Amino acid sequence: MAPMGIRLSPLGMAVFCLLGLGVLYHLYSGFLAGRFAFFMLSEPAAGGPETPHGSVPGGAVDLRELLAVSVLAAVRGGEEVKRVREGNVLNAKAKGKTREGADEQLTTGDLLSNRRMFYLLKGAFPAVQINSEERVDTADQETVSWDRSIPEEIKQKIQPKEVPAESVTVWIDPLDATQEYTEDLRQYVTTMVCVAVNGKPVIGVIHKPFSSYTAWAMVDGGSNVKARSSYNEKTPRIIVSRSHAGKVEQVARQTFGNKTVIIPAGGAGYKVLALLDVPEKNQEEADVYIHVTYIKKWDICAGNAMLRALGGHMTTLTGEEISYTGSDGNEGGLIASINMNHKALIEKLPDLEKTSHK
């Protein structure tokens, strides 16, 4: 008999039990679902690297961390470039033709540097789009890990700054000035990494493998390089590609006078460093960098970011900003300067734009 003289019917007992089971099922299933979700989010996939914080699809990327790993990637790639050159195992071959009809060289240094740089960046930030000059062979994948350490110099100068992962595009040039590399003109060779956010270059890293010098800068952040303080705007020293010196010289001398100095050089990274205060004995100095033909964005993105961070400019020959989204080429040539009247320079060189599409 039930307490207080109340008698429970079998049907009532059954209903009561079913209600209790329903409540327990609801509570316990919610607990299990929560634990399962936590497990899926916190555990890396079997056989794969742990996903770094802030780099999941739709998540955020810390630009200070991305700068740190970009510097490391440029240095690691440079180690491969130097090792191949010093071992004289270039295995150089033509991978195609430039628009001017010259052979475009490819070496073992390009390929090994590309592999090291790409997989280091991709392992650290798998959700970020990475564009590289060389094709990435998935069959030759390399596991290159980053210990997530940030150099003290970067910690002191750069504050953490998060941006949406989907807004970021990384451009890497694993070996700039390959032609000069094959000719053993080592001073022109660089490895470069650039980070663009919504198409605007914000982080630039240029590394010189054969002198172990690395320049980096971040827009609205800081840098380890400065602009030179002395420029001659009336008769500037103009640095140009070795193959384009003749195209630029005549127009430049007509515009600025016969005292204008034309500096033929290799590599876009080297040419941008020529505009800056670089403690390198094999680095020439220039006031303006001009390129009059089509050029790939991984050649110029890092230098563009560096100049922007230091108050300089890099535009097409008609003064348009270069967007680092979409296609990998820039059709409008370029003119770069710092601490000069960039608009006035463009207005003085109107005829050069006509040659940029040839």
pLDDT digit string, tens, across residues 143-190? 777 999 999 999 999 999 999 999 999 999 999 999 999 999 999 999
Is 199 a residue whose pLDDT tops 90? yes
The residue among 223, 241, 258 that closes a domain is: 223
Q: How confident is the model at residue 36 (pLDDT cuts 50, 70, 90)?
A: very low
Residue 3 CB coordination number (10 Å): 5
The rounded mean pLDDT for the chain is 83
Distance in angstroms (rounded) separating the CA atoms of residues 221 and 161:
9
Q: Are 300 and 331 in contact (CB under 8 A)?
A: no
Per-residue model confidence (pLDDT) at position 353: 53
Amino acid at 256: F
Per-residue model confidence (pLDDT) at position 253: 82
Q: Is 176 annotated as a binding residue?
A: yes
Per-residue model confidence (pLDDT) at position 53: 44
Distance in angstroms (rounded) separating the CA atoms of residues 274 and 289:
8
Strand runs labelled E in the chain: 60-62, 93-97, 103-106, 129-132, 162-164, 168-176, 190-197, 200-208, 213-218, 222-223, 226-227, 237-241, 261-265, 276-277, 288-291, 295-296, 313-315, 329-330, 334-337
| Structural domains of the chain, count | 2
Per-residue model confidence (pLDDT) at position 55: 47
If one compares 4 and 236, the residue with the highest pLDDT of the two is: 236
Q: Catalytic residue at 62? A: no
Per-residue model confidence (pLDDT) at position 257: 83
* Same domain, residue pair 250 and 191: no
pTM (2 d.p.): 0.81
Which residues make beta-bridge pairs with 292? none
Amino acid at 210: F
Mean pLDDT of 295-305: 97
Per-residue model confidence (pLDDT) at position 139: 64
If one compares 51 and 148, the residue with the highest pLDDT of the two is: 148
Is 333 a residue whose pLDDT tops 60? yes
Per-residue model confidence (pLDDT) at position 251: 80
The CATH number of the domain holding residue 172 is 3.30.540.10
The residue among 196, 223, 250 that closes a domain is: 223
Range of the domain at 316: 226-348
Per-residue model confidence (pLDDT) at position 32: 41
Which residues make beta-bridge pairs with 222? 218
Q: How far is CA 8 from CA 17, 32, 215, 256, in A?
A: 12, 34, 85, 107
* Same domain, residue pair 211 and 256: no
Question: Model confidence over 226-254: pLDDT tens digits?
Answer: 998 777 777 889 999 998 888 788 888 87
* Same domain, residue pair 138 and 113: yes
Per-residue model confidence (pLDDT) at position 88: 94
Distance in angstroms (rounded) separating the CA atoms of residues 233 and 82:
37
Q: Is residue 50 part of a domain?
A: no
Per-residue model confidence (pLDDT) at position 227: 92
Question: Model confidence over 56-111: pLDDT tens digits?
Answer: 445 999 999 999 999 999 999 999 999 999 999 999 887 766 555 566 789 999 99
* Same domain, residue pair 151 and 213: yes
Q: Is residue 218 part of a domain?
A: yes
Burial 195-232 (b: 16+ CB within 10 A, else e): bbbeebbbbbbbbbbbbebbbbbbbebbbebebeeebe
Residue ranges of the alpha helices (H) in 199-282?
A: 245-256, 268-273
Q: Catalytic residue at 190? A: no
Catalytic, out of 51, 108, 178, 191: 178
* Same domain, residue pair 68 and 197: yes
Per-residue model confidence (pLDDT) at position 98: 58
Q: Is residue 153 part of a domain?
A: yes
The residue among 195, 223, 251 that closes a domain is: 223
Question: Model confidence over 153-166: pLDDT tens digits?
Answer: 999 999 999 999 99
Q: Is 41 annotated as a binding residue?
A: no
Q: Is residue 353 part of a domain?
A: no
Is 358 a residue whose pLDDT tops 60? no
Residue ranges of the alpha helices (H) in 2-62?
A: 10-42
Q: Is residue 19 part of a domain?
A: no
* Same domain, residue pair 246 and 211: no
Per-residue model confidence (pLDDT) at position 2: 46
* Same domain, residue pair 218 and 258: no
Q: How confident is the model at residue 46 (pLDDT cuts 50, 70, 90)?
A: very low
Q: Is 111 annotated as a binding residue?
A: no
Q: Is residue 252 part of a domain?
A: yes
Which residue in 302, 119, 80 sits closest to 204, CA to CA? 302
- Using DSSP's 3-state secondary structure scheme, residue 249 falls into helix
The CATH number of the domain holding residue 266 is 3.40.190.80
Q: Is residue 39 part of a domain?
A: no
* Same domain, residue pair 275 and 143: no
Q: Is residue 172 part of a domain?
A: yes
* Same domain, residue pair 251 and 108: no
Q: Is 133 annotated as a binding residue?
A: yes
* Same domain, residue pair 254 and 266: yes
Catalytic, out of 62, 107, 108, 110: 110
* Same domain, residue pair 218 and 260: no
Q: Are 118 and 131 in contact (CB under 8 A)?
A: no
* Same domain, residue pair 171 and 272: no
Per-residue model confidence (pLDDT) at position 101: 57
Q: How confident is the model at residue 266 (pLDDT cuts 50, 70, 90)?
A: very high
